[in-house]
Structure 1
Amino acid sequence: MPAANIVSTLIEAMPPGLVWTGRRMAASSASGWSTGFAALDAELPDRGWPRGTIIELIAARPGIGELGLLQPMLRQTPRKRWVSWISPPMLPYAPALAEAGIPLSRMMVVDTRDNAASLWACRQALGSRACHTVLAWLSRIDTSGLRRLQLAAETSGTPLFLFRPEHAAVQASPAALRLQLEANPDGLRVRILKRRGPPTADVVHLNLNAHTHAVDRADPAGPAASGHYTRCV
């Protein structure tokens, strides 16, 4: 019997889940959090956002609907957990967040002086084990920095959503999931650049208008009008 057939036979004889092969979708012992979009869940190994890892959301510019993609998860923030927003490019618009059903009292916006401080804040938020999730916008980060954040996410079991510019798509990354986002008239086109499983060239079309509220905008009145969430400087 050819060696390849022997290996295949041995793998098939092993208990399910003990060995993962590249042609099949990977699965972990812990199920993911549903994205709230069935078409996207169907393309993800854990049928949702993976836990304890970096998830990269790559787009040409901020404000194309990327926060709408996360609204279903943010609505499920537990009462004793936080969502840390690290250096968002615009001040989150509190009235829209509240209208979307997102608990403002569990939102913590962290303004930092520079990129190094943003990285430090990310590690602290992950290491605290007090966060439901961490959202971070970094102007730049190298592979070494990504590995440190990945380790922190794995250790704490907390997902870290990194919002990254378009050119980051060609950078190597330890992230378990990398999505490239493009705006379309009713929502987003999502291309999966990396997942734990076989590659796919399919594009997932998401209708955000049917499920989300507009939260990708700045608060026109500034901090005083958005004091319902915690803001740290």
Structure 2
Amino acid sequence: MLQAVSKLTRSEPVLPSLIRPIAPQADHSGLAGKVTEIVLQNSDFEQMTMLLPLLAQLSNDDRWFAWIAPPTTLPKDLLEAAGIDLNKVMLLQPDQGHSTYQLACQALKAGTCHAVISWPGALSSAELSGLEDAAENGQSHGIVIRDRRAA
């Protein structure tokens, strides 16, 4: 079972909810069912600022936008200033029963998320293929962000 953050705000506690499969919606961006890899020189959030416009655009869809295992606490003020709708962002963290890879596959396959961005660390070719299959099944777009050393 996936635990999800239904709302990211500055002062409110995080409330868990469930990811439930829904019928895939039409994707007008042409990205549904695909996985994009982004390789950064290191995991510093400063390098991710160039991705903020992309993240803001992805958060404009009617479905959820899932972030799985981001490497640091994400500065909410910066995300909001970039235009990211934090009310549609679901933050998932791996636990003993679910790896980052497993959470990403489940979120992609469920179809409730327009896009799923994950920071899996090392990822095998078989796992990348698994993410691609899950994205296609759920008509969601996967974004994998990795450190160059883990790529």
Query: Is it true that 1:92 corresponds to 2:74 in the alignment?
Result: yes
Higher relative contact order (CA 8 A, sep 6+): 2
Query: Is it true that 1:133 corresponds to 2:87 in the alignment?
Result: no
Q: Among residues 137, 145, 148, which one is paired with 2:130 in the alignment?
A: 148
Pair 84,154 (structure 1): closer, same or farther in 2 beyond 3 Å: same
Deviation at 1:122, TM superposition (A): 0.4
Q: Among residues 164, 168, 179, which one is paired with 2:146 in the alignment?
A: 164
Pair 149,76 (structure 1): closer, same or farther in 2 beyond 3 Å: closer
Deviation at 1:74, TM superposition (A): 2.5
Deviation at 1:114, TM superposition (A): 6.2
The corresponding residue for 1:60 is 41
Q: Deviations over 1:3-27 (max 9, x none)?
A: xxxxxxxxxxxxxxxxxxxxxxxxx
Question: For the Cα contact (< 8 Å) 2:39–2:145, is it kept in 1?
Answer: yes
Deviation at 1:141, TM superposition (A): 1.8
Distance 1:135 1:115 in 2: 20
Q: Can you give the 5+ residue segments of structure 1 that lack an aligned partner in the other structure? A: 1-29, 34-45, 170-233
Whichever of the two has the greater Rg, that structure is 1
Q: Deviations over 1:57-77 (max 9, x none)?
A: 001202243343242453453
Alignment-mate amino acid for residue 40 of structure 2: A
Q: Deviations over 1:187-225 (max 9, x none)?
A: xxxxxxxxxxxxxxxxxxxxxxxxxxxxxxxxxxxxxxx
Deviation at 1:157, TM superposition (A): 2.0
Q: Deviations over 1:83-139 (max 9, x none)?
A: 111000011111111111111100111111369521111011111111121110012
The corresponding residue for 1:119 is 101
Q: Can you give the 5+ residue segments of structure 2 that lack an aligned partner in the other structure? A: 1-25
Distance 2:83 2:149 in 1: 33
Distance 1:142 1:79 in 2: 30
* Correspondences of 1:38-53 after superposition (within 5 Å): 50-53=31-34
Over the matched positions of the two proteins, sequence identity in percent amounts to 26
Distance 2:118 2:96 in 1: 13
Number of aligned pairs? 125
Alignment-mate amino acid for residue 66 of structure 1: M
Q: Deviations over 1:143-193 (max 9, x none)?
A: 111111111112222111101121455xxxxxxxxxxxxxxxxxxxxxxxx
TM value normalised by structure 1 = 0.47
TM value normalised by structure 2 = 0.70
